[in-house]
Structures are given as structure tokens and as C-alpha cells.
Amino acid sequence: MLLRYLFIFLIILPIKAIALIEVDITRGNLSPLPVAVSPLSIDEDSKKSFKKILKKENIGIEISVVVENNLKQSGLFNPLNKDAFLQNPDIANLKPRFEDWNLIKAQALITGKVIYDNEKLRVEFRLWDVLAGKEMMALAFTTVPNNWRRVGHIISDKVYERLTGEKGYFDTRIIYVAEEGPKTKRIKKLAIMDQDGFNNKFLTLGNELVLTPRFSPTNQMVTYLSYFKNLPRVYLLDIETGMQEVVGDFPGMTFAPRFSPDGKKIIMSFAKDGNSDIYTMDLENRIVERITKHPSIDTSPSFSPDGKYITFNSDRSGYQQIYIMRSNGKGIKRISFGNGLYGTPVWSPRGDLIAFTKLHKGKFYIGVMRTDGTGERLLTENFYQEAPSWSPNGRVLIFYRETKTNSKGEGFSAKLWSIDLTGYNEKLVKTKTDASDPSWSSLLGN
């Protein structure tokens, strides 16, 4: 009897549940998230100590500016004007008055404080969800005072990751070729800087022509091409120690050496017996292995992040197009079929896309396509631009763009630009000199 009633009861229950109305939300806005970056609070003693060491009036404000600029540059966040803030920075250890931050339409809030602790810089920061009125994250970093900009970048990465769901790209560096002088007599040096253009350093003197620098996966080493007595040489440079070594002299045209994902090999193309093909070199034993063998010109190889595939360009079909193959050179497959010429393919660190340069009807494009060649999207168009390099999270590309010279040969310039995958957030990357051939490091903390 009891079972019968229970049975009836269980049958009736779900009938009520059916009444719940469901509404599908399949669209939202992609406008930048309003975020308030409160200046990090600092006590008077710490302020004085840091002023002595870093010559900065208020290091708390300086770090918050680094965070703010990073978030703004990403195009995904809209840091609110500090003049509108109703609560002072001394809220570091208190719960913010969320209604005040709600009033200025902030959806996320960053607070924190800076302490001078035993000759070190200690930064504590918190990320708050203003609408939910709760803390999302709280972290503290201790480092030498000179690393204050890196602390700002690390905070930016943590905030970016917590709010977007993917790793950031702010605590990274960019290596590039710094260019000076007239176009006909250009001095080219290797240079390195933070991704926001600060802490610029030159790594070579400019006596030799340098080209295509690329980071190793650990960011410790850089491989690049340089011409010594008109012969192309591939170098390895340790950016921490400044030690440089020659990997080898290669005949004919040599292009774009690049590390394999495990950092044990270099892949490049060079001409042997009049034919340009793709080769790898084992960095331990310096054994060179030929990967492609075709009478056409094969260049610009780049490994997939798992190291199983290689993308490269080749004119084997009659025109320069993009191909992929297995890392042993087998299973070659053409993936670009659009109009124009395709070059400089680079596999995304996420593994889902290949970035490329395209030349069509006299204009250069930077674009991306899926690894099977579908979904080609051209992100930016210009008179001359090339050499895209991915940010470590696979969301942003950095490349260089040259401007036209006038009839007198004046007005030439080469600058670094970045663009995200939406194609809307295109930004000039500040460099002290003209710049070309950028390469983005992976996250320094990794």
C-alpha cells in the first residue's frame, strides 16, 4: 500500500517540475569589461624606502598603472578613470564598499598594497567581483624592488586569466631586429624588450646584419640568422649570460631558424645543390636531417605545439602556398587554396590556427586559418607587412609593417604592430627605433 502511494507521489512530482520556464541566452556583448584598478596603497615608510631605491614617488601608483595599461592594451578590459573612484586606495585590507564601485559601473575591482619588507618589495593584491560582492582572488608576491614592473605584469596575467578563462601574455618579452639609418644603409641590431615596450636592451652591436630572431621554449636562448662575410650563419644566444655560439655555416639562402617545441632541435630551410629544402639540426650532436626533398623552394618551417607536425610554405604547386606535413616529412598536404601568395606560416601555441602573410593584388595581409586550411580570416591589410608571431596564449599576433617611401626615398619606417584574433584591436607596439622581425617569448614565469 505504502509503495503504491509512493509511486503515485513520485509520478506527480515531475509534473510540477515541467512548469519551469527555460530561456536560452545565446548572445552577449563582446565589449571590454569595465574594471577598476585602484592604486595600490603604501605606507609612508615604505614609500620613502622605495623612493630612494627606485626613484619613484609612489610605487603603488606605478604598479597599478602597469596593470591598467596591460588590461587596456588587451582590448578585453576597460579600466575606469581613477578620478571617478569614490573609495580611497587604503582599502587594501578592508572589504570594498561595493555600492560605490557599482555606482561607477565597475564589474571587477583590483585593490592591494605595497610593503617594503627586508629590502624586498612585497605586493599583495585582491580581485573583487563587484556585482557579486565577493573576493575572486588574493595573491602576494615578494621580489627585489627592481622587478616592480614584472610584478605589475604578473598581476595583470592573474587578473586576465581569472576573468577570461585563458592564460595571460603580459609577463613576456619580445625580441626583434632594431633598425636605424637610411633604407639603403640600414644598421640592424638584435634587441629585446618587455611586451609593453619597456626595458629595451640591444643584444648585438650592429656590425653584422641580423635576421629572424626566435626564442627557445624556455626563453633562455635565442636563435637567429646573421651574415658573416656575406655567408649566412645560424647563431644561438643566451640572453641571460650574453654567450653566443655558431650553430653552423650554411650555403646559399638560409631562412628563419626556429626551435622545436622541446627545444632540442632547430628547424630551418637552406639551399643545398641549388635546391632549397627544410632541415632540422639536433643541437646536442649537430646532426642535420633533411625533412623535404622536392625540386621546388620549401621555406619558413614551424612546428605544431605538440611537435608532431610542421607547417611550411612551398611553390611546388606553381605558386607559393602553405603546406603541413608530419615531423618526419611524410604526409605533405597543401592547406591554402585562396587567391594570392601565402608565406611565413606559424603554428599557434594553442594548436588550433596557423597565422600567415598573404600577398594579393599588391597588398599584404596578416591572417589566420585552421590547420586544415578552412576558416581563413584576414585580420589586417597594408602596403607591406609580414612575419607574424603568436603571443603565448594564442590570442594576439605581433608583426612588422613598413611604410612607403616617397620619390626621394624618404619617409621609410618599419614598426611593430599587434592585433588580436578579432581583427579589431590593432595597436602600435612602442619601440625606440624602427623595428622588424618580432618574436614573442612564452610566459617568463613558466
Partner 1 sequence: MNRNIFISFGLHTLIVMITAMSLPFLTKKPIDLPPIVSVELIQITDKTNIPFAPKAKKIIEKIKEKEKKIVSEQAPPKIVKKEKPDAVPLPDDKIKKVEKIKDEKQNPEKIESEVKQVSEFEKKDLFDPNSIAALIDKSKVESAETNKKLDKITQDQDKNIDFSGLSLSEEDALKAQIFGCWSIPLGLPYNEDLLVRIKLQLKPDGSIIRSEIIDHARMNKPGQGFYKVLAESALRAIKLCQPLRVPTTGYERWKELQLNFDAREMLEG
CB of 232 to partner 1, least distance (A): 39
Nearer to partner 1, 22 or 240 (CB): 22
CB of 348 to partner 1, least distance (A): 13
Is residue 205 a contact point for partner 1 (CB under 8 A)? no
Exactly one of 22, 44, 273, 284 binds partner 1 (CB under 8 A); that residue is 22
CB of 15 to partner 1, least distance (A): 8
Exactly one of 2, 3, 94, 205 binds partner 1 (CB under 8 A); that residue is 2
CB of 193 to partner 1, least distance (A): 25
CB of 317 to partner 1, least distance (A): 30
Assess contact for 437 and 177: CB atoms under 8 A. Answer: yes
Which three cell numbers mark 252? 646559399
- Residue 423 burial by Cβ neighbours in a 10 Å radius (0-12, 13-18, 19+): middle
Exactly one of 3, 14, 20, 118 binds partner 1 (CB under 8 A); that residue is 20
Is residue 166 a contact point for partner 1 (CB under 8 A)? yes
Assess contact for 322 and 335: CB atoms under 8 A. Answer: yes
Is residue 19 a contact point for partner 1 (CB under 8 A)? yes
Nearer to partner 1, 375 or 445 (CB): 375
Measured CA to CA, the distance from residue 198 to residue 368 in angstroms comes to 28
Q: How many CA atoms lie within 13 A of 301 on its CB side?
A: 34
For the CA atoms of 96, 100, 104, 109, what is the dihedral angle to 10 degrees?
A: 0
Which backbone phi and psi does 244 adopt, to 5 degrees?
Answer: -130, 140
Exactly one of 269, 336, 393, 442 binds partner 1 (CB under 8 A); that residue is 393
Nearer to partner 1, 13 or 205 (CB): 13
CB of 320 to partner 1, least distance (A): 29
Exactly one of 54, 65, 136, 139 binds partner 1 (CB under 8 A); that residue is 136
Is residue 21 a contact point for partner 1 (CB under 8 A)? yes
Nearer to partner 1, 18 or 205 (CB): 18
Nearer to partner 1, 61 or 137 (CB): 137
Binding map of partner 1 across residues 48-77, x = CB under 8 A, - = no contact: ----------------------------x-
Is residue 94 a contact point for partner 1 (CB under 8 A)? no
DSSP secondary structure string, 366-392?
Answer: EEEEETTS-S-EEEEEESEEEEEEE-T
Non-local (6+) Cβ contacts of 134 within 8 A are 128
Nearest to 425 by CA among 129, 167, 169, 165: 169
Nearest to 37 by CA among 97, 128, 103, 110: 110
Nearer to partner 1, 95 or 430 (CB): 95
Assess contact for 252 and 270: CB atoms under 8 A. Answer: yes
Non-local (6+) Cβ contacts of 194 within 8 A are 149, 153, 172, 173, 174
Do strands 108-117 and 41-42 pair parallel, antiparallel, or not at all (unpaired)?
A: parallel
Is residue 138 a contact point for partner 1 (CB under 8 A)? no
Residues 28-47 that bind partner 1 (CB under 8 A): 28-31, 33
Measured CA to CA, the distance from residue 188 to residue 206 in angstroms comes to 5
Residues 146-165 that bind partner 1 (CB under 8 A): 160-165
Measured CA to CA, the distance from residue 224 to residue 54 in angstroms comes to 34
Measured CA to CA, the distance from residue 352 to residue 305 in angstroms comes to 10
If binding means CB under 8 A, how many residues of this protein chain bind partner 1?
A: 40
Is residue 3 a contact point for partner 1 (CB under 8 A)? no
In the complex, which residues of this chain contact partner 1 (CB under 8 A)? 1-2, 5, 8-9, 12, 15-16, 18-31, 33, 76, 107, 129, 131-132, 136, 160-166, 352, 393, 395, 422
